[in-house]
Amino acid sequence: MPLQLVWPTQVGKISQHFMEHPEWYTSGGLKGHEGLDIVTKTAGEIYACADGVVAEVRLDGDTFRQLPTTDPKRWGFAYGNQIRITHLLPEGEYTTVYAHLLEARVVAGDRVKAGQLIGLADNTGNSTGTHLHLSLKKKGASDAGETPQPRDLIDPEPFLLPFGTVPESSGDTGAPAPAPAPTIGLDALRYLADVTIPDNSEIPSGQPFTKTWRVTNTGTTTWANGFTLRFTSGNPMGPNTSFPLPAAKPGDTVEISIPQTAPPSLGKLVSKWTAANAQGQSFGPNLSIVILVDETHPKPVPLPAAAADGLRFIGDLNFAGNPLVMAAQPLRKIWRVQNAGSTAWGAGYVLASIPGDPLNALPPVPLPAANPGDEEEVSIEMLTPFKPGTYQSKWQARNPQGQPFGDVLSMVITVGIM
């Protein structure tokens, strides 16, 4: 009985065939589309195409999208969450690969039957909309010249049974299964939603709040004692940098809540957190808090009228006039300014971002020491955003009492794909 593949989704339609669109795939070393794209809805059920053994489950999630486009490692994550199943037949060893998944319902080493539910569909990895990408490999096919593609990739369609067809009999010969990969516990987490404090919530400086995210344990391990959520980068919003993760079995959806306090810095502030297991290894995407800290709390203490802080913008020393820049690059913006007030700048005088996009700088940035009338350069190191688009970053000086003063310093950049 030659290999037969049962339809792996709940929708009987192929949206892209084998070898289509060579122009999209040649840069990845392929001769065209290396498998079939099959229509499914988000979280639609994905079925094993044939009897076999799960060789690998990789829950890379959206690592592909989080890595800079310049990172060569990125292409290793193009399939997102994926399952690989090995099928041993008299005519050879085949592997089916199910890519861009939401989650897996099997683990490496599982024996599966044709038509068995193995996972749910999504849009993870290098994908622009929910679908199932199915690849089929036949060991030795590239070397034997049976396929134009590298890596033993062959066209699954000749083996695919019509939608709704039940296989006549098992394609499995009962031959011994390949030694299953050791079943290693996989820690994984999928972000579902912000339950409280949606991005850009306005919160007065100093006000306590509770941030809650809804997540699913998409791994094969149970979150228990020792699993934590750790502060990884951005603006600290409280003294604790680690909180216990709620208990969750594989597949459970739970809420993670942490107490935070809006910091004294003003503007758009971001705090990033990552889950970690009992061995301290982090997993899953960053969970972030993005707040706009209100400028009216606490009330600034007015300065005596005689002492006036001032800053005058003189010129842009670089990145003037909306230049095109690369994504995800460090960038140091420099302005020339003058202390146009009657007070000297010293400890506690800072530049703070004002609503706009601080481009990942960590405000506040100290102002250089300057006497009234002095000219100085002020600079801020930022990271350009990952997504193409036009961004504005705006900054204003603050005195040690937190009172803003002087000209607004701004920069407009356009992040392009280069």
Q: Which residues of this protein are in contact with Zn ion, per CB under 5 A?
A: 37, 133
Counting other chains too, the contacts that 11-20 makes at CB distance below 8 Å and 24 or more residues apart are 11/38, 11/39, 11/40, 11/41, 11/44, 12/162, 12/163, 12/164, 13/38, 13/39, 14/38, 14/39, 14/157, 15/39, 15/131, 17/155, 17/157, 18/154, 18/155, 18/156, 18/157, 19/148, 19/149, 19/155
- The least CB distance from residue 100 to Zn ion, in Å, is 8
- The least CB distance from residue 158 to Zn ion, in Å, is 17
Q: Return the number of the residue (58 or 268) whose C-beta is nearest Zn ion.
A: 58
- The least CB distance from residue 16 to Zn ion, in Å, is 6
- Report yes or no: 13 and 39 within 8 Å, Cβ to Cβ: yes
Q: Return the number of the residue (128 or 225) whose C-beta is nearest Zn ion.
A: 128
Residue sitting closest to Zn ion (CB): 133
- Report yes or no: 183 and 272 within 8 Å, Cβ to Cβ: no
Nearest-10 Cα torsion for 19, 23, 29, 35? -30
Q: Return the number of the residue (24 or 401) whose C-beta is nearest Zn ion.
A: 24
Angle at 286 between CA 290 and CA 120, to 5 degrees: 120
Q: Return the number of the residue (133 or 138) whose C-beta is nearest Zn ion.
A: 133
DSSP-assigned letters across all residues of 392-407: EEEEEEE-TT--EEEE
Q: Return the number of the residue (87 or 133) whose C-beta is nearest Zn ion.
A: 133
Q: SS3 for 266?
A: coil
Length of the chain: 418
List, in sequence order, every beta strand (DSSP E) within 60-163. 81-89, 92-104, 111-112, 117-121, 132-138, 153-154
Q: Return the number of the residue (5 or 258) whose C-beta is nearest Zn ion.
A: 5
Q: Return the number of the residue (58 or 133) whose C-beta is nearest Zn ion.
A: 133
DSSP-assigned letters across all residues of 136-156: EEETTTTTTTS-SSSTTEE-S
- The least CB distance from residue 44 to Zn ion, in Å, is 16
- The least CB distance from residue 28 to Zn ion, in Å, is 11
Beta strands 282-294 and 201-204, pairing class: parallel
- The least CB distance from residue 247 to Zn ion, in Å, is 37
b (16+ CB within 10 A) / e for 152-174: bbbbbeebbbeeeeebeeebbee
Backbone angles phi, psi at 382, to 5 degrees: -130, 170
- The least CB distance from residue 21 to Zn ion, in Å, is 10
Q: Return the number of the residue (37 or 187) whose C-beta is nearest Zn ion.
A: 37
Q: Return the number of the residue (100 or 268) whose C-beta is nearest Zn ion.
A: 100
Kind and range of the H or E run holding 351: strand 350-354
- The least CB distance from residue 38 to Zn ion, in Å, is 9
- The least CB distance from residue 94 to Zn ion, in Å, is 18
